[in-house]
């Protein structure tokens, strides 16, 4: 990790920031990418390793096919059937793109296998063959772009070190704001990226990883998040008025059997927040 942060004006870091709302580019960083809007998490996998194995297997198979329209479409149909054979998707009406894979040779950064920068595409853009087409892929921005401040986005982007966690966390705009609201309430003032040192950055990542490592989980719940504007209100086990950490608990999909469970969850989150503030 590094405590060296970009300025809010990021034009020197990526020309893509000129095209996005909110002053900070989130879809791709030097070390990570997010494939959440492609539905990359929206299939029935059982563990982080199981997720990587499935996406890696897809990537390796795609590398071997001819780059013709028929071959690509045939691959997509076959991969869609394989995904369906794994069981029900967490969000049945949300697409899982069969061309979401790993773009880099180290198989670390998720991305679009149809992208012109993807290996073996030789600069040809095949994204028009995807379910929604290339224009939709290029024009969509998740709620975090609009709803989270540039400073908070920078801190999240720099705290998380792997793409799997990053894609699941960065789309949780309400959780992110809830965490930083608590931090600033505890601290008594706003926090800025340059104030976060290496030690506190590690603690911030630990807090954000509650999204996928919630220790008080009473049952296994898929970590995928549906963050599109047409999302229906889903019943939660907790009334928002009962807890100041409601949006964190909603994001981690916490489940409670009684009031004690809620108090234990609140205590865990608040302790992590306090530890972070103490390290600043």
pLDDT per residue as tens digits for the range 109-139? 898 999 888 878 889 999 989 887 777 777 8
The vertex-262 CA angle with 238 and 211, nearest 5°, equals 75
Is 8 inside any structural domain?
no
Whole-angstrom distance, CA of residue 47 vs CA of residue 24: 30
The H-or-E segment that residue 246 falls in is helix 246-251
Q: What is the mean pLDDT of residues 37-57?
A: 95
Q: What is the mean pLDDT of residues 32-54?
A: 94
Mean per-residue pLDDT of the chain: 87
pLDDT given at position 14: 56
Q: What is the mean pLDDT of residues 174-198?
A: 96
Whether 219 shows a pLDDT value over 80: the answer reads no
Is 17 inside any structural domain?
no
Same domain, 102 and 154: no
Whether 153 shows a pLDDT value over 70: the answer reads yes
How many domains does the chain fold into? 2
Whole-angstrom distance, CA of residue 103 vs CA of residue 178: 33
Same domain, 265 and 194: yes
The pTM is what?
0.89
pLDDT given at position 103: 85
pLDDT given at position 124: 92
Whether 1 shows a pLDDT value over 70: the answer reads no
Q: How confident is the model at residue 61 (pLDDT cuts 50, 70, 90)?
A: very high
Same domain, 182 and 127: no
pLDDT given at position 55: 96
Q: Which of 110-119, 150-159, 226-235 has the highest mean pLDDT?
A: 150-159
Bridge pairing between strands 100-102 and 110-112: antiparallel
Same domain, 171 and 256: yes
User: Which of 110, 141, 172 is the last residue before a domain boundary?
Assistant: 141
> 3-class DSSP state for residue 28?
strand
Same domain, 33 and 137: yes
Whether 4 shows a pLDDT value over 80: the answer reads no
């Amino acid at each position: 990790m590094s405590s060296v942060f970009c300025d809010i004006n990021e034009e020197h870091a990526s020309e893509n920031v000129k095209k996005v709302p909110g002053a900070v580019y989130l879809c791709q960083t030097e070390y990570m990418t997010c494939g959440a809007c492609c539905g990359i998490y929206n299939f029935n996998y059982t563990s982080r390793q199981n997720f990587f194995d499935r996406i890696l297997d897809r990537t390796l198979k795609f590398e071997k096919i001819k780059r013709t329209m028929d071959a690509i479409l045939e691959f997509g149909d076959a991969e869609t059937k394989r995904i369906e054979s794994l069981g029900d998707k967490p969000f049945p009406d949300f697409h899982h793109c069969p061309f979401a894979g790993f773009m880099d040779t180290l198989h670390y950064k998720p991305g679009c296998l149809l992208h012109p920068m993807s290996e073996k595409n030789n600069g040809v853009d095949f994204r028009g063959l995807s379910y929604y087409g290339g224009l939709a892929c290029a024009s969509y921005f998740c709620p975090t772009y609009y709803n989270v401040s540039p400073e908070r986005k920078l801190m999240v982007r720099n705290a998380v070190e792997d793409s799997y966690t990053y894609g699941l966390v960065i789309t949780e705009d309400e959780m992110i704001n809830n965490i930083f609201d608590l931090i600033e309430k505890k601290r008594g003032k706003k926090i800025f990226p340059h104030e976060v040192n290496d030690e506190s950055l590690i603690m911030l990542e630990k807090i954000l990883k509650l999204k996928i490592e919630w220790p008080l989980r009473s049952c296994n719940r898929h970590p995928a998040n549906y963050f599109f504007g047409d999302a229906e209100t889903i019943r939660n086990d907790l009334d928002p008025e009962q807890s100041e950490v409601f949006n964190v608990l909603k994001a981690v999909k916490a489940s409670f059997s009684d009031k004690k469970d809620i108090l234990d969850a609140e205590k865990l989150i608040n302790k992590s927040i306090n530890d972070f503030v103490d390290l600043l």
